Amino acid sequence: MVNGAEADGLPFKVTQTVLRRGQERYNIYCTPCHSRVGNGKGMIVQRGYYQATSFHSDRLRRAPLGHFFSVMTNGYGAMPDYAAQLSPQDRWAVAAYIRALQLSQSATKEDVPGREAVLPLDTLAEQSGLSKTFLDQWLNSSQSQAVVPAVPSSQPISGAPKDSAADMPAGVTSSHGAPGDLKPHPTAAATATKGDAGKGKKIYAENCSVCHQPTRTGMPPVFPSLLGVVDRVGEARVRTVARTGIPDAKPPMPPHPNLSDKDINDLLAFLRTK
């Protein structure tokens, strides 16, 4: 959090070692629901569970890195928290890998450095001894290209890479454009908005309590608790969700266009009460 809002940055330098650690932890803890490519079609979904949220939705492409850390720490909707399974450092590593994963599924030829070549995925599959259609089930869209080194690397994939910004994959940059150095950056100050908690309690009862319960404790994992939610995710996030909803959540959070700015100010005041 920076100035009361989820921030788009990490507390340490991102290197290939960090990304490989994030990939390892992601593959262990996240792929059963979200899949190896992050499209929300993991194995338990294929066995009948709700489809998980895709990391490639517009909402999550725009989400700050702090949002992913917060979700792993506190849980979100039907997703439980992973604070016991993932250390804070590993949660940041997974967040960094998710951002790289998002890039991998939407990269263009302009994102490819000059020393690398772009090959069709079916060609890459055949070169690996697989059928041309092997990768079709994991594709998110019409994407049919893969980035491969123009000159084969002498370092095996399992080797420990150097911790340097030069080892960052193409396109992964900080908010200031410097490769491999994602750091928190200042955001607009988020000052607490004044509202009437008494009126907010009535607004909550009429619009929110049917799912999140009159006690604000929710019904985890389907409906999350809203106790302390403003401190956890920030006023801006609560305001946006209250107004526009979360259409790709499972189950979806509906929008509330009936709420005015004053109504949401009052609702925030009530949500801040103990």
What is the spatial distance between Cα 167 and Cα 169, in angstroms, rounded to a whole number? 6
Domain range summary for the chain, segments of one domain joined by +: 16-104, 116-150, 197-272
pLDDT digits (tens, 9 = 90+) for 206-257: 999 888 998 998 887 778 889 999 988 889 989 999 999 888 877 788 899 9
Q: Do domains 16-104 and 197-272 have the same CATH topology?
A: yes
- According to CATH, what is the number of the domain 197-272? 1.10.760.10
CATH 3.40.630.10 is the classification of domain 16-104: no
**pLDDT category, 63, cuts 50, 70, 90?**
very high
**Res 246: pLDDT:** 87
**Res 158: pLDDT:** 33
